[in-house]
Amino acid sequence: MTGERVLEVEIHEARLDDRLQVPAIDLQDLPHSRKRDDDAPFRSDRTAGLARPRATRHEGRSRLVRDADGRDDIRGGLGYDDDARCALLAQGPERRVVRIREERRGIVDDSVGRNDLAQSRSDARGADGHRPYARDIAVSSTHVRPDDLATCISCGLCLNDCPTYRVLGDEADSPRGRIQLIRTVLESPAAPSETTVEHLEACLVCRACETACPSLVPFGRIMEGAREVLREREGGGRAARTMLDTVARPRRLAIVARLADIGARLGLARLAARLPGRLGWAASLAAPAEGPPFRGVDRDDADVSIFAGCIMREAFGETERATVRLLERDGHVVSVPEEQTCCGALHAHAGDGERARELARYNVDAFSGSDGKVVVNAAGCGAHLKAYGDVLAADPLWAERAKGFAARVRDVSEIVNPVPARARRAIRVVYQDACHLAHGQRIRAQPRALLRAIDGVMLVEIEDPERCCGSAGIYNLTHPEISRELQQDKVRKILEASPDVVVSANPGCMLQIAAGMRAAGSSPRVVHLARFLDDPDLVMAGDP
């Protein structure tokens, strides 16, 4: 460890200690009583100069400025142009986040520094091993683990990476703010205020904060538990309940997918997309299905099984078939267990824990016929399937089986070998990281390596490739305004790279980005990684 690195650690620890002495943030008193998405004043407030999503991590670094006292000022970094909003931001302890994040980067790649960082965290604990504020939490629910909450040291390093914080510019819409709100909710058995619910519901559960967090806060698990508490105390939206009910019922989902496909092919969706408001926005996301639905074969002699998903098998049949072909090309015998059902990720994100656990038990059972790998091609499903051990941890009958199942799950990019293909023409490819692949499963290099292995493919990186596109399950339907901001930001960055094709690994991202491309009048196709690897020339020829 060099002297310079020692200095970095000392600076960092001093700042962390500062953070720990910051008084608890009283989120109820902050001037953040943001209205709902569909609220007209909220929309006009945003257009009047609320934090813009255009700010990027790179901008944040290059435009970092010093104030008169020589302190870092995040205002220029975030690119806000609204003085009132800047003043609010400047009051918060997060104003030096960009600088601290850079220092942390110098530490986390160094194992000695990492140990020092861990040491500084444990030093902050009291004699009973808990941090002062964690000790006082009276958790009134079994859905959120006190240990998980106690991992947050309120350092604020996650703020700059949180898409909703960047769009809304409000501490209560940041990971740290939300954790504080969750603590408040759990301290009282009362129904949470409408404002608290809105801030917690506005989270994308993209888990970018997990990547940024030096304390390994399992934010996705915390938020899913908190949403379950909210749902128990104040119910849930009827529209969201209907959507979740539909994806968990294969026959109903097949009918809805068929109707959406017909609507898209007849141009009805395009017409409806011109309607104002939520209906028009929802219609803009519709796209024709990729060929007929996927119906695989359940085989006894298989060495790998496919988790086909709910929306994937109905609307992305060609991607499913391409996944099977890739595995068979590698010599695998593939089975598609018949009894499988929706993974339950959307239910867990929405706080319907009971349904999520029920679906998890179905799937653990459906795949119990073999002990081979379970291959999945949808990032959101994969992250959730890998978490089944957590989902059923409190169920003594299923906990061990769920853990065993989760250990078998692999994303398709983790298991297939590079395809020795040569594209007929040079293809500029943008790979868009799906949040639940990059942040949820830490899979970033494998898809890129598979794409680079194809002769003729030129992989072009975009700014902030890991920032959420705003799809996030049914988030784009429940929070259209924020979703649209993130979508437009993503599309702008993609178009700056002038790709021939955009490749992703999650159906929601594909629909969201493709809709943004259509709205921008742009032509690049958006396809799944498996389809592109299977036959890049066919994709470029426009095969539907």
Which residues form the interface with ligand SF4 (CB under 6 A)?
152-158, 162-164, 175-176, 178, 203-209, 212-213, 215, 217, 219
Locate the DSSP E strands across 27-82: 65-66, 72-73
Q: Degrees (nearest 5) of the Cα angle 303, 304, 310?
A: 150
The tokens for 311 are 């929306």
Which residue number, 141 or 215, has a Cβ lying nearer to ligand SF4? 215
- CA dist list (Å): 516 to 178, 287, 355, 539: 29, 12, 32, 19
Q: Evaluate the CA torsion angle 341, 342, 345, 349 in order and state its sign.
A: negative
Which residue number, 212 or 539, has a Cβ lying nearer to ligand SF4? 212
Considering the complex, what minimum distance in angstroms separates the CB of residue 216 from ligand SF4?
8
Which residue number, 152 or 346, has a Cβ lying nearer to ligand SF4? 152
Considering the complex, what minimum distance in angstroms separates the CB of residue 38 from ligand SF4?
19
Which residue number, 164 or 284, has a Cβ lying nearer to ligand SF4? 164
Q: Which of 502, 493, 414, 404 is nearest to 450 (CA)?
A: 414
Rounded to whole angstroms, how far apart are CA atoms 455 and 323? 20
Which residue number, 162 or 356, has a Cβ lying nearer to ligand SF4? 162
DSSP state at residue 445: H
List, in sequence order, the alpha helices (H) in 353-470.
353-366, 379-385, 388-391, 399-408, 412-415, 435-441, 445-452
Instruction: Give the largest Cα separation in the chain, rounded.
Output: 72
Considering the complex, what minimum distance in angstroms separates the CB of residue 479 from ligand SF4?
11
Question: How far does Cα 339 stand from its chain's mean position?
Answer: 28
Q: Which of 99, 102, 119, 122 is nearest to 111 (CA)?
A: 119
Considering the complex, what minimum distance in angstroms separates the CB of residue 37 from ligand SF4?
14
Which residue number, 208 or 501, has a Cβ lying nearer to ligand SF4? 208
Considering the complex, what minimum distance in angstroms separates the CB of residue 50 from ligand SF4?
16
Which residue number, 183 or 332, has a Cβ lying nearer to ligand SF4? 183
Q: Which residues in 157-178 are b (16+ Cβ under 10 Å) and which e? A: bbbbbbbbbbbbbbbbbbbbbb
Considering the complex, what minimum distance in angstroms separates the CB of residue 220 from ligand SF4?
7
End-to-end CA distance of the chain: 55
Considering the complex, what minimum distance in angstroms separates the CB of residue 123 from ligand SF4?
15
Which residue number, 214 or 524, has a Cβ lying nearer to ligand SF4? 214
Rounded to whole angstroms, how far apart are CA atoms 376 and 306? 6
Which residue number, 42 or 362, has a Cβ lying nearer to ligand SF4? 42
Which residue number, 163 or 382, has a Cβ lying nearer to ligand SF4? 163
- CA dist list (Å): 520 to 14, 37, 87, 488, 492: 47, 23, 34, 9, 9
Rounded to whole angstroms, how far apart are CA atoms 208 and 84? 27
Q: What DSSP element (H or E) covers 422?
A: strand 422-431
Considering the complex, what minimum distance in angstroms separates the CB of residue 172 from ligand SF4?
11
Considering the complex, what minimum distance in angstroms separates the CB of residue 178 from ligand SF4?
5
Considering the complex, what minimum distance in angstroms separates the CB of residue 513 from ligand SF4?
18
**Cβ contact 515:538 at 8 Å:** no
Rounded to whole angstroms, how far apart are CA atoms 95 and 85? 12
Number of Cβ within a 10 Å radius of residue 65: 10
Considering the complex, what minimum distance in angstroms separates the CB of residue 262 from ligand SF4?
34
Considering the complex, what minimum distance in angstroms separates the CB of residue 157 from ligand SF4?
4
Which residue number, 164 or 305, has a Cβ lying nearer to ligand SF4? 164
**Cβ contact 180:25 at 8 Å:** yes
**Cβ contact 415:361 at 8 Å:** no
Which residue number, 216 or 255, has a Cβ lying nearer to ligand SF4? 216
Question: How far does Cα 44 stand from its chain's mean position?
Answer: 27
Which residue number, 224 or 534, has a Cβ lying nearer to ligand SF4? 224
The tokens for 309 are 């998903």
Considering the complex, what minimum distance in angstroms separates the CB of residue 164 from ligand SF4?
4
Q: Evaluate the CA torsion angle 468, 218, 306, 358 in order and state its sign.
A: negative
